[in-house]
């Protein structure tokens, strides 16, 4: 077995690694560190949780320990798809470079330009950035990339999903041809392959096993759910979610609940909070300080349930999560692997429960094809049956999602009750409507034919053409809300803005009845 001391890392780096308590290098570290230290390009095919961050930070610190930074000319550059991931990489540098004098700057959206510019002006050894913010600084003439000796692209496949590849190509073109490139991606989509063929030169290719497919310690389940009525789908689904959480009881010490849509992240988080659960959302539209606070709270155990979108949660290092709940079946099968990989880490047992509606069955089949196994169907905790069409709310019950009477938080932080109360025990309606930005009709939580994916957690860059920004904001909406402006804008005299939806319905549209 290889040890860290055999990897040719600087003694000061080794000491920091020892302080971190790592005993042996992970496979990606063992494979990537030696060629990186030789100055070779590296193509690492590895996902988060494999120790890939240290596989590039450790050799970088070793190499950068020699030499000094010049004003406005960073010596190395790490590009990350999200602010959180960039902040996490920065933390890694702090950990491993504690005995080495290195300067670094973190260029991410949501933080003032002034402070960032000051740091760059002084000269930095390591610049860690999201592509949009980096280009903003570059275009303002505040930054030169001609001194970059080492460039890292982290989570390239997520960059691709978020539309950052053109930005990455531009950034590559501003750096010297002689730079060393360390490139990491969990998967090798054709577009990623093209970029690596263009910008990497004879890279050492290190591929580590996909962690989640091999993780036998994650118990997976799917709960089939069919709403009793289409207009109740959203509230019944949230009720099912609460029942799932309750049924797990104390086994659920902390969990991440993934939604496909940003709007659902907010709605689900608000709804859970309303019902007394300890929950908070994280997605790209929240301001940076709130995202940081939420994540810190989740990491240190103060927050129990993190409601997240794929992009926001991507790459986040949260050491032990007992449960992952997929509120939706992800539209991209490999996201399932990423999502459930947040539990069952470091050999601990984990549980992944997914809700599947009839419209998600195709996506479920794609997930099962990818992981090459059938996910066991678990009974719906509300009905006790596996059959999807056992409606969770009895006919005539329109109180499927009403909150229970307010209890003090301390009396119910962990929600130990086994099952949700019966509807007739519940108070008059008010809660969910208030919890949700879109009241009873809940347009944002309406089923969409396909999940629309969160485009980018970075705010739109100032210089982007308005047309593009408009396109993005359209993408933010569920497909069910796109391109329906005319229909939604219709008004009936006397109804104000609150026209009941049945009035807008076409008589010829039988299928939607």
Binding site for ligand AMP (CB under 6 A): 22, 25-26, 29, 48-54, 317
Alpha-carbon distances, residue 330 vs 129, 240, 334, 338 (angstroms): 28, 18, 8, 10
Minimum CB separation of residue 195 from ligand AMP in Å reads 21
Minimum CB separation of residue 71 from ligand AMP in Å reads 31
What does the alpha-carbon distance between residue 174 and residue 414 come to, in Å, rounded to a whole number? 52
Minimum CB separation of residue 147 from ligand AMP in Å reads 26
What does the alpha-carbon distance between residue 299 and residue 303 come to, in Å, rounded to a whole number? 8
Minimum CB separation of residue 296 from ligand AMP in Å reads 15
Residue nearer to ligand AMP on the CB measure, 98 or 461: 98
Q: In terms of Cα–Cα distance, which of 77, 82, 81 is closest to 93? A: 77
What does the alpha-carbon distance between residue 129 and residue 77 come to, in Å, rounded to a whole number? 8
Minimum CB separation of residue 485 from ligand AMP in Å reads 43
Contacts for 167-171: CB closer than 8 Å, 24+ residues apart: 167/131, 167/132, 167/135, 168/79, 168/131, 168/195, 169/195, 169/198, 169/199, 170/135, 171/77, 171/79, 171/131, 171/134, 171/135, 171/138, 171/145
Q: How deeply is 148 buried, as exposed, middle or buried, from its count of CB atoms within 10 A (0-12, 13-18, 19+)?
A: buried
Minimum CB separation of residue 236 from ligand AMP in Å reads 37
What does the alpha-carbon distance between residue 225 and residue 248 come to, in Å, rounded to a whole number? 18
What does the alpha-carbon distance between residue 436 and residue 36 come to, in Å, rounded to a whole number? 50
Residue nearer to ligand AMP on the CB measure, 221 or 317: 317
- The residue written with tokens 């702090």 in the block is 94
Minimum CB separation of residue 52 from ligand AMP in Å reads 5
Q: At what angle do helices 131-139 and 113-122 cross, to 10 degrees?
A: 70
Q: How many CB atoms lie within 10 A of CB 496?
A: 8
Minimum CB separation of residue 340 from ligand AMP in Å reads 16
Q: In terms of Cα–Cα distance, which of 334, 344, 340, 309 is closest to 186? A: 334
Residue nearer to ligand AMP on the CB measure, 47 or 481: 47
What does the alpha-carbon distance between residue 169 and residue 135 come to, in Å, rounded to a whole number? 11
Are the C-beta atoms of residues 444 and 263 closer than 8 Å to each other?
yes
Residue nearer to ligand AMP on the CB measure, 25 or 74: 25
Residue nearer to ligand AMP on the CB measure, 55 or 481: 55
Are the C-beta atoms of residues 480 and 443 closer than 8 Å to each other?
yes
Residue nearer to ligand AMP on the CB measure, 96 or 275: 96
Residue nearer to ligand AMP on the CB measure, 74 or 315: 315
Minimum CB separation of residue 187 from ligand AMP in Å reads 15
Q: In terms of Cα–Cα distance, which of 360, 336, 513, 509 is closest to 447? A: 360
Q: What letter would DSSP give residue 284?
A: T
Residue nearer to ligand AMP on the CB measure, 29 or 326: 29
Minimum CB separation of residue 53 from ligand AMP in Å reads 3
Residue nearer to ligand AMP on the CB measure, 43 or 143: 43
Residue nearer to ligand AMP on the CB measure, 141 or 347: 347
Minimum CB separation of residue 460 from ligand AMP in Å reads 28
Q: For residue 511, what are its two tokens?
A: 């299928």
Q: How deeply is 187 buried, as exposed, middle or buried, from its count of CB atoms within 10 A (0-12, 13-18, 19+)?
A: middle
Residue nearer to ligand AMP on the CB measure, 32 or 268: 32
């Amino acid at each position: 077995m290889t040890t860290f001391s055999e990897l040719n890392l600087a003694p000061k780096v080794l000491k920091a690694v020892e302080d971190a308590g790592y005993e042996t290098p992970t496979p990606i570290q063992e494979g990537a560190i030696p060629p990186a230290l030789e100055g070779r390009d590296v193509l690492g095919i590895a996902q988060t949780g494999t120790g890939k961050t240290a596989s590039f930070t450790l050799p970088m610190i070793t190499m950068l320990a020699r030499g000094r930074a010049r004003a406005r000319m960073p010596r190395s550059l790490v590009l990350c798809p999200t602010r959180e991931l960039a902040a996490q990489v920065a933390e890694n540098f702090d950990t491993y470079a504690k005995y080495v004098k290195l300067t670094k700057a973190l260029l991410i959206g949501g933080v003032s330009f002034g402070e960032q510019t000051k740091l760059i002006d002084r000269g930095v050894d390591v610049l860690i950035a999201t592509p949009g913010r980096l280009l903003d600084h570059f275009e303002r003439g505040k930054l030169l990339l001609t001194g970059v000796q080492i460039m890292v692209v982290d989570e390239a496949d997520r960059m691709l999903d978020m539309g950052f590849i053109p930005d990455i190509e531009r950034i590559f073109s501003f750096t010297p041809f002689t730079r060393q490139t360390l490139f990491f991606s969990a998967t090798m989509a054709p577009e990623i392959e093209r970029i690596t063929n263009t910008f990497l030169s004879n890279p050492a290719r290190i591929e580590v096993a996909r962690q989640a497919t091999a993780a036998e310690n994650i118990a997976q389940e799917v709960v089939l759910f069919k709403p009793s009525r289409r207009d109740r789908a959203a509230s019944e689904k949230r009720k099912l979610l609460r029942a799932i959480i309750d049924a797990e009881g104390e086994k659920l010490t902390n969990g991440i609940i993934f939604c496909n849509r940003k709007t659902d992240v907010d709605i689900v988080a608000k709804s859970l909070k309303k019902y007394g659960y300890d929950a908070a959302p994280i997605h790209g539209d929240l301001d940076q300080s709130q995202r940081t606070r939420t994540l810190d709270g989740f990491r240190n155990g103060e927050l129990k349930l993190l409601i997240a979108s794929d992009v926001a949660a991507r790459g986040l290092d949260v050491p032990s999560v007992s449960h992952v709940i997929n509120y939706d079946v992800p539209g991209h099968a490999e996201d399932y692997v990423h999502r459930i990989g947040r539990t069952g880490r470091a050999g601990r047992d984990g549980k992944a429960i997914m809700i599947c509606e009839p419209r998600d069955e195709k996506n479920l089949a794609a997930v099962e094809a990818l992981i090459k196994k059938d996910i066991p169907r678990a009974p719906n905790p509300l009905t006790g049956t596996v059959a999807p069409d056992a409606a969770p709310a009895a006919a005539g019950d329109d109180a499927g999602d009403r909150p229970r009477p307010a209890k003090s938080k301390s009396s119910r932080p962990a929600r130990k009750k086994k099952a949700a109360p019966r509807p007739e025990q519940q108070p008059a309606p008010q809660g969910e409507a208030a919890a949700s930005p879109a009241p009873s009709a809940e347009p944002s939580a309406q089923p969409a034919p396909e999940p629309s994916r969160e485009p980018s957690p970075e705010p739109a860059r100032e210089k982007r053409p308005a047309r593009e920004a408009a396109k993005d904001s359209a993408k933010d909406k569920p497909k069910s809300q796109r391109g329906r402006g005319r229909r939604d804008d219709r008004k009936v005299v006397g109804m104000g803005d609150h026209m009941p939806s049945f009035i807008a319905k076409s008589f010829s549209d039988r299928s939607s009845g």
